[in-house]
C-alpha cells in the first residue's frame, strides 16, 4: 500500500510548499521510490480555469484535459510524472459532486454534512489510483487557520488514523522570520502554527522552516522542544539561487532522510543526484546569454507565465546560455511605433504567449510584424500563433480586415471559434453561448507534421502529442491565401481539419503553435521547440 505524506503550510502563504513537495518527491524518486503528488485546493471554484491569471497565476493543463493549479507544473517538471485530473481537487469540485449526488437522491434521505460526506470525498480522492505507488504526497493549499482548509485538515487527521502507524506522516512548512532590529530569528510564529495544527488533531512529524538566515542549532532545538519533533526533523529552508537547486539543498539539510525515518524506514545507501547537479552546473556556468522579449498581457505577474518562464530557462540549459526574459506589455505598442523598436530591438528573439481577449492583440500583431520584417526569431504560442496568422493575412495576403471572432464579429475570420472537433472520447460540439468553464479544447492531442518541415526536423518525428487550451482556431478557409504569403501549415490534426503549426521557411526561425509546448518541458529534458528557439536566439545574438 502507498504511504501518504501530508503537507500543510503555516504562518503565511507563499512559503514554497509546492516546490518543497516537488523537491521531496524528486529526492524520493532518486532513491528508487515511485511517487505521485496531489494538490488539494480549498477554494470554491470547480477548477482554476475561469480565474484571472492575476488571481491565480497560470492554469496548468494535463494530458487528460484538466485545468489545474500551477503547482502541478512544478510537480511534473521535478518528477517527470505526468499529472492527471485526479491529482488536483478543489472544494468547489467536491461540493459540486456531493450536491449533484444529493439531488439524484443518492444519500437515501441522510442529512448531508461536512463530516462525513465532504471529508469522505477528500479521503477517496487522496486514495484513488495509488496502488502502483510507494509514496503519495498531498499538498493542502492555503494556510492552517483558514476556514476553507478545515475539512481538508480533518480529512488528513482521519486518514492518518485509518491507514495506521508508519503509513502516513505530516510535514508542516512555516516561516522563521528575522527581526533585523533585534538581530534574531523568531520561532514563536512556528510554535503557534504547530499548536494550531495540533489542536486540529494533526501533529507534524517534520517541520520545514523557511528562513532568510541560517537557523542556529539553539533555535532548532527550541523549535523541536516546543513543537514535539526531533531536532533533526526541523529542516531549515533558506532561499535558493535557482528553484532547481532546491532538491539538492533539501537533501543537504536531511529532508528525505528525516521523512523516511518518520516512516520508520532507515535510509540505505546514497542516492543519485547527478541529474540535479548537472542542471545546477549548467545554470551557474553559462557560456553566454540571450534576451527574449515576451510580449504578453499579464506581464505584471510572472506566475501567470510560470511554465513558459521555466521552458525558456530549460532552452537555456540545452544551449548552455543564460536566458534573460524581457517582459513587455503588448498594450505599450498600440499606436506607438517608437516604443516597438525601443523595446524589441534589444531582443535576440521574440515570443508571443497564450492569451484571451482583445486587449493587447494589436500590439502583439505589431510584434509579429517586427520579428518577421527584421528577421528576428519568432515563437508564437496559441494566441501568438493566431496573431502570426492575422499579421500574415493582413500584410502578405492582402486581407486588410483579417481578425479573430474572439474580438467580435468580423468579415474576415482568419481565426474563428471551433464548434466541432474530434475529442478523446468522440465528437465534441460547442456553441458561442455555452459555459465558459472546462469547455475549451483541452489536453493532449496528436498532430501530424509535414515530412520536410522545420518543425519535423526540430522534433525529429512527424507525429507529436502536445497539450491544448483554446476555444478558437486558425480557419483553414484561409490556408491557401496564408501559404501564398509564405506561412506554411506544417502541422495539422490527424484528420486534417485543425491547423496545429505554422512556420515561415524563409525566415531564420518563425514558428507558431496552437498548443502549449511549455507545459511539457523539463529541466532535464528541455522541450525541442524551446531548445531550438534559444539556439536561434544565440545565433541572432552573434549577428547583431
What is the contact surface with ligand GLN in residues (CB under 6 A)?
354-356, 382-383, 406, 469-472
Least separation, in Å, of the C-beta of 382 and ligand GLN?
3
Contact yes or no for 58/307 (Cβ under 8 A): yes
Estimate the crossing angle of helix 274-284 against helix 306-319, to 10 degrees: 90
Say how many Å lie between the first and final Cα of the chain, rounded.
59
Residue by residue, DSSP assigns 138-205 as EEEPS-TT-TTTHHHHHHHHHHHHHH-TTSEEEEEEEE--EETTTTEE--HHHHHHHHHHHHTT---S
Residue with Cβ nearer ligand GLN (314 or 471): 471
Least separation, in Å, of the C-beta of 173 and ligand GLN?
32
Residue with Cβ nearer ligand GLN (16 or 416): 416
Least separation, in Å, of the C-beta of 472 and ligand GLN?
3
- 384 labelled ligand-binding: yes
Residue with Cβ nearer ligand GLN (356 or 421): 356
Catalytic residue among 74, 172, 470, 516: 516
- 148 labelled ligand-binding: yes
Residue by residue, DSSP assigns 452-466 as TSHHHHHHTSSEEEE
Question: Cα 469 from chain centroid?
Answer: 13
Least separation, in Å, of the C-beta of 281 and ligand GLN?
34
Decide if 382 is catalytic: yes
Residue with Cβ nearer ligand GLN (251 or 306): 306
Catalytic residue among 138, 209, 382, 389: 382
Catalytic residue among 412, 468, 518, 527: 518
Least separation, in Å, of the C-beta of 415 and ligand GLN?
7
- 6 labelled ligand-binding: no
- 187 labelled ligand-binding: yes
- 280's grid cell: 545546477
Residue with Cβ nearer ligand GLN (42 or 354): 354
- Distance separating alpha carbons of residues 225 and 216, to the nearest angstrom: 14
- 355 labelled ligand-binding: yes
- 540 labelled ligand-binding: no
- Distance separating alpha carbons of residues 220 and 118, to the nearest angstrom: 37
- Distance separating alpha carbons of residues 174 and 186, to the nearest angstrom: 11
Residue with Cβ nearer ligand GLN (210 or 469): 469
Least separation, in Å, of the C-beta of 471 and ligand GLN?
4
Contact yes or no for 312/292 (Cβ under 8 A): yes
382 Cβ contact list (under 8 Å, min separation 6)? 353, 354, 355, 468, 469, 470, 513, 514, 515, 516
Query: In this structure, how many other beta carbons lie within 10 angstroms of the beta carbon of residue 319?
Result: 24
Decide if 56 is catalytic: no
Decide if 500 is catalytic: no
Q: Which residues pair with 442 in a beta bridge?
A: 469
- 59's grid cell: 492554469
- 15 labelled ligand-binding: yes
Q: Give the annotated binding-site residues for L-glutamine.
A: 54, 355, 383-386, 406, 471
Show which residues are catalytic.
Answer: 382, 516, 518
Q: Give the annotated binding-site residues.
A: 13-19, 54, 71, 139, 146-148, 186-191, 222, 240, 355, 383-386, 406, 471
Q: Give the annotated binding-site residues for Mg(2+).
A: 71, 139
Amino acid at each position: 500500500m502507498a504511504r501518504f505524506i501530508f503537507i500543510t503550510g503555516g504562518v503565511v502563504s507563499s512559503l514554497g510548499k509546492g516546490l518543497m513537495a516537488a523537491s521531496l518527491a524528486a529526492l524520493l524518486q532518486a532513491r528508487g521510490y515511485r511517487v505521485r503528488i496531489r494538490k488539494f485546493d480549498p477554494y470554491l471554484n470547480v477548477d482554476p480555469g475561469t480565474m484571472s491569471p492575476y488571481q491565480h497565476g497560470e492554469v496548468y493543463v494535463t494530458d487528460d484535459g484538466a485545468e489545474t493549479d500551477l503547482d502541478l507544473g512544478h510537480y511534473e517538471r521535478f518528477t517527470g510524472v505526468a499529472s492527471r485530473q485526479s491529482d488536483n481537487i478543489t472544494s468547489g469540485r467536491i461540493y459540486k459532486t456531493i450536491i449533484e449526488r444529493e439531488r439524484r437522491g443518492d444519500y437515501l434521505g441522510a442529512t448531508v454534512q461536512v463530516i462525513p460526506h465532504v471529508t469522505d470525498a477528500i479521503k477517496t480522492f487522496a486514495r484513488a489510483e495509488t496502488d502502483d505507488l510507494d509514496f503519495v504526497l498531498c499538498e493542502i493549499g492555503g494556510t492552517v487557520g483558514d476556514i476553507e482548509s478545515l475539512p481538508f485538515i480533518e480529512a488528513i487527521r482521519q486518514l492518518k488514523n485509518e491507514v495506521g502507524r508508519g503509513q502516513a506522516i505530516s510535514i508542516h512548512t512555516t516561516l522563521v522570520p528575522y527581526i533585523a532590529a533585534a538581530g534574531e530569528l523568531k520561532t514563536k510564529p512556528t510554535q503557534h502554527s504547530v499548536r494550531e495544527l495540533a489542536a486540529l488533531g494533526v501533529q507534524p512529524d517534520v517541520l520545514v522552516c523557511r528562513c532568510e538566515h541560517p537557523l542556529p542549532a539553539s533555535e532548532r532545538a527550541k523549535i523541536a522542544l516546543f513543537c514535539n519533533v526531533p531536532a533533526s526533523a526541523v529542516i531549515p529552508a533558506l532561499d535558493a539561487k535557482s528553484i532547481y537547486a532546491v532538491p539538492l539543498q533539501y537533501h543537504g539539510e536531511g529532508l528525505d532522510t528525516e521523512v523516511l525515518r518518520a516512516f520508520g524506514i532507515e535510509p540505505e545507501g546514497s542516492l543519485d543526484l547527478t541529474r540535479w547537479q548537472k542542471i545546477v552546473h549548467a545554470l551557474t556556468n553559462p557560456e553566454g546569454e540571450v534576451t527574449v522579449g515576451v510580449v504578453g498581457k499579464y506581464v505584471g505577474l510572472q506566475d501567470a507565465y510560470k511554465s513558459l518562464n521555466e521552458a525558456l530557462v530549460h532552452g537555456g540549459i540545452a544551449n548552455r546560455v543564460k536566458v534573460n526574459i524581457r517582459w513587455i506589455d503588448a498594450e505599450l505598442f498600440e499606436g506607438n511605433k517608437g516604443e516597438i523598436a525601443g523595446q524589441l530591438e534589444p531582443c535576440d528573439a521574440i515570443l508571443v504567449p497564450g492569451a484571451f481577449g482583445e486587449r493587447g492583440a494589436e500590439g502583439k500583431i505589431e510584434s509579429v510584424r517586427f520579428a518577421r520584417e527584421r528577421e528576428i526569431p519568432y515563437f508564437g504560442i496559441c494566441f501568438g500563433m493566431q496573431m502570426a496568422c492575422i499579421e500574415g493575412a493582413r500584410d502578405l495576403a492582402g486581407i486588410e480586415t483579417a481578425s479573430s471572432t474572439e474580438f467580435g464579429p468580423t468579415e474576415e475570420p482568419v481565426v474563428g471559434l471551433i464548434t466541432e472537433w474530434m475529442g478523446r472520447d468522440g465528437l465534441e460540439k460547442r456553441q458561442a453561448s455555452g459555459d465558459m468553464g472546462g469547455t475549451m479544447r483541452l489536453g493532449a492531442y496528436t498532430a501530424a507534421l509535414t515530412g520536410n518541415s522545420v518543425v519535423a526536423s526540430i522534433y525529429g518525428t512527424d507525429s507529436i502529442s502536445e497539450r491544448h487550451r483554446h476555444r478558437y482556431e486558425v480557419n483553414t478557409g484561409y490556408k491557401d491565401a496564408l501559404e501564398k504569403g509564405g506561412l506554411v501549415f506544417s502541422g495539422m490534426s490527424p484528420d486534417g481539419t485543425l491547423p496545429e503549426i505554422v512556420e515561415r521557411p524563409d525566415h531564420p526561425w518563425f514558428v507558431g503553435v496552437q498548443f502549449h509546448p511549455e507545459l511539457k518541458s523539463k529541466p532535464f529534458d528541455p522541450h525541442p521547440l524551446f531548445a531550438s528557439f534559444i539556439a536561434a536566439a544565440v545565433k541572432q545574438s552573434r549577428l547583431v
